[in-house]
């Protein structure tokens, strides 16, 4: 029994905001990546390898706000965050503020597997990645025209209004993630992000924080979040889903739905999450107009979604 779910971020995503060509591009990419990761599970691979592979592919695709395609911070740079967690052992690895490592999720996994630490940040994390022989790139590798235009628009608003610019959902969201259950009954979760456009230099959101944006425990579930990171951090959103299952005996669906449609919005936050429990049940709630998502369940059935309905 195995299953996998991936996401490419939640936000103001409507049929009016995407052309047919854009929608098709997202659907093609989501299907390709979820099938590629699912093949690993079919061939007896681990949930950890499946989520890592999925997130690498999402990081490499400029459609999403992670890796190549990450947003610009207030200093006109990219600072990348990622986390991975093994539900079988509760081991985890996280990185924040990367600027030169091509695939942050691989650095996070190396932290988990090759150090006694859980999180590395900044230049030390990049130096560690290089020492591990991971692919390093020039910071401009992460540039894309769409993200630059978004950054320039926000900066122009700031200059014109001399106050805080309005950051759209499109500019804030786009985090990627994956959760999986393998044939051995092990769960894993992985998340990667560029943050949000014009974020303060050094800002860290929920994605690389275990229990906030990423969590996995074989006894309950695996979770990857996307949205307004500050709110997800404040309620330890990913862990809260697992806690509701553990202590209230809620289903994965009810626990995830409560966190996303009650707890987060009560604080003023928006976003969504993907989750899978130890039986292969899947939840993909969000409180925005859309969330890029795809799943292959325990029956082998594929589902792809962008909009609410």
pLDDT confidence of residue 154: 82
Nearest to 8 by CA among 243, 238, 196, 191: 191
Kindly tell me if the per-residue pLDDT of 128 is higher than 70.
Answer: yes
> How much is the average pLDDT of 247-254?
98
pLDDT at 138: 94
Whether 175 is catalytic: yes
Question: Which of 3.40.50.300, 3.40.50.720, 1.20.120.450, 3.60.20.30 would CATH assign to domain 3-307?
Answer: 3.60.20.30
In eight-state DSSP terms, residue 139 is G
CA 241 – CA 245 distance, rounded (Å): 6
DSSP 164: P
> In the prediction, which pLDDT does 18 show?
82
Determine the pLDDT at residue 276.
98
Q: Sign of the C-alpha dihedral, residues 74, 268, 59, 304?
A: negative
Give pLDDT tens digits for 256-288.
999 999 999 999 999 999 999 999 999 999 999
Indicate if the pLDDT at residue 165 is higher than 60: no
The catalytically annotated residue of 46, 175, 191, 263 is 175
- The pLDDT confidence band at residue 149, using thresholds 50, 70 and 90, is confident
223-231: average pLDDT: 95
Q: Regarding beta strands 91-98 and 119-121, do their DSSP bridges make them parallel or antiparallel, or are they unpaired? A: parallel
Higher pLDDT among residues 219 and 172, named by residue: 219
Percent share of the chain, pLDDT over 90: 79
Residue 93 reports pLDDT greater than 90: yes
Q: Give the pLDDT confidence of 50-89 residue by residue, as tens digits.
A: 999 999 999 999 999 999 989 989 888 999 999 999 999 9
pLDDT of the residue at 171: 56
């Amino acid at each position: 029994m195995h299953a996998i779910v991936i996401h490419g971020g939640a936000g103001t995503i409507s049929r009016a905001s995407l052309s047919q060509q854009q929608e098709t591009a997202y659907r093609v990419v989501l299907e390709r990546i979820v099938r590629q990761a699912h093949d690993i599970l079919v061939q007896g691979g681990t949930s950890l390898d499946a989520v890592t592979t999925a997130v690498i592919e999402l990081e490499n695709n400029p459609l999403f706000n992670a890796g190549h395609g990450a947003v610009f911070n207030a200093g006109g740079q990219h600072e990348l965050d990622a986390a991975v967690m093994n539900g079988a052992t509760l081991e985890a690895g996280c990185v924040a503020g990367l600027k030169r490592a091509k695939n942050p999720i691989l650095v996070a996994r190396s932290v988990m597997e090759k150090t006694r630490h859980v999180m590395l940040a900044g230049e030390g994390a990049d130096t560690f990645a290089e020492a591990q022989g991971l692919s390093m790139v020039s910071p401009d590798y992460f540039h894309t025209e769409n993200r630059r235009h978004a950054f320039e628009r926000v900066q122009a608003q700031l200059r014109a209004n001399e106050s805080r610019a309005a950051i759209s959902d499109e500019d804030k969201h786009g985090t990627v993630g994956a959760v999986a259950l393998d044939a051995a009954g092990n769960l894993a979760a992985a998340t990667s992000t560029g943050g949000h456009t014009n974020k303060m230099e050094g800002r860290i959101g929920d994605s690389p924080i275990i229990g906030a944006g990423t969590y996995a425990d074989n006894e309950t579930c695996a979770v990857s979040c996307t949205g307004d990171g500050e709110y997800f951090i404040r309620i330890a959103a990913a862990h809260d889903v697992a806690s509701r299952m553990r202590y209230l005996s809620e289903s994965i669906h009810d626990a995830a739905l409560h966190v996303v449609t009650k707890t987060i919005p009560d604080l003023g936050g928006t976003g969504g999450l993907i989750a899978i429990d130890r039986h292969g049940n899947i939840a993909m709630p969000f409180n925005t107009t859309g969330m890029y998502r795809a799943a292959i369940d325990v029956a082998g059935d594929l589902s792809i979604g962008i909009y609410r309905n």
